[in-house]
Amino acid sequence: VLCWFYVYPAYRLPRDKDIVDEVLRQGDAWTKNQTGIDLYRKLLSECCDPGRMFAVTKENSPMGKVLWYDGEFYHSHTVNNETYRLFVQDNPLQLPLKKCAVVGNGGILRHSKCGRDIDQADFIMRCNLPPLSKEYTEDVGTRTHLVTANPSIIEKRFQNLLWSRKAFVDSMKAYGSSYIYMPAFSMKPGTDLSLRAYYSLSDTSSNLTMLFANPEFLRTVGKFWKSHGVHAKRLSTGLFLVSLALGLCEEVTTYGFWPFSMGLNEQPISHHYYDNILPDKWFHAMPEEFLQLWHLHKTGTLRMHVGHCP
């Protein structure tokens, strides 16, 4: 039997309008807080060891290692001949990264003119193979160093890569020579899709490097935020990337994180900068995540860009 308190959370989130008011009150005021930055880097390295663990590597996942899927119970993959050789040797990033930009896909980016700002970062992370075509350049920029690809996108947008590999490989050119970060060991059906994406890229000598997200890292990051009060079945991709950035970068700026139905001018706003397809409400807890990020912004640990860029 479903009790009301399972359906309605006991805590109350502020209304969209209250969040708008709060963000406007804060305005452009922001002061970097090195103590906060150091603290979060320390907390994240203690819980989750991002530098060593964010990707599946030959070093952290030798032959025979059991990788437990973080998105479902009692499923695992034992590293074998076929998978081991697809793993990078070790963490390929040059650490520490300096200025990082983490770009969410929120509709707040539309007409933001943040493209130039974003492109000036040293390391740019994006979520879920977002469109970077000309019409968006001014708002979201063109450069990418790491982009996530959920296997479900491969399924929906590229018909499981059964016959449309060229469309996939061509569309990946938008991300230059970046890392493509796929949660290959999170949900069972994602493994084959991720391997197929890997082979599609390697067969065509693509410039992209595939990194498989380490399910152990995803699980520990999930626990970290749970202990900070994020009540989601699964964290959003954006929060995983912000956590990675807080662990690896000297400075973190976020763009496109705004999971609300109105903009700062109180006008309706689309969910994404490129469409208005809404997420599954019970799966993610984006507004709750936003409040966590907003707290980090106010305390100077990262900088959130919500409005227009100068």
Can residue 190 be called a binding residue for ligand CDP (CB under 6 A)? Answer: no
Residues of span 271-290 touching ligand CDP by CB under 6 A:
271-272, 279, 284, 286
Q: How far is the CB of 171 from ligand CDP (least distance, A)?
A: 15
Using CB under 6 A as the binding rule, whether residue 237 contacts ligand CDP is answered as yes
Least Å distance between CB 107 and ligand CDP?
6
CB of 280 to ligand CDP, least distance (A): 8
Give yes or no for residue 45 binding ligand CDP (CB under 6 A). no
Per CB under 6 A, which of residues 109..138 are in contact with ligand CDP? 127-128
Q: Least Å distance between CB 209 and ligand CDP? A: 21
The 3-class SS string of the chain reads: CCCHHHHCCCCCCCCHHHHHHHHHHHCCCCCCCHHHHHHHHHHHHHHHCHHHHCECECCCCCCCCEEECCCCCCCEEECCHHHHCCCECCCCCCCCEEEEEEECCEHHHCCCCCHHHHHCCCEEEECCCCCCCHHHHHHHCCCCCEEECCHHHHHHHCHHHCCCHHHHHHHHHHHCCCEEEECCCCCHHHHHHHHHHHHHHHHCCCCCEEEEECHHHHHHHHHHHHCCCCCCCCCCHHHHHHHHHHHHEEEEEEECCCCCCECCCCCECCCECCCCCCCCCCCCCHHHHHHHHHHHHHCCCCEEECCCCC
Q: Of 61, 91, 105, 200, which lies in the binding site for ligand CDP, with binding defined by CB under 6 A? A: 105
**Size of interface with ligand CDP, in residues (CB under 6 A):** 19
- By CB under 6 A, which span of 67-75, 174-182, 200-208, 255-263 interacts with ligand CDP? 255-263
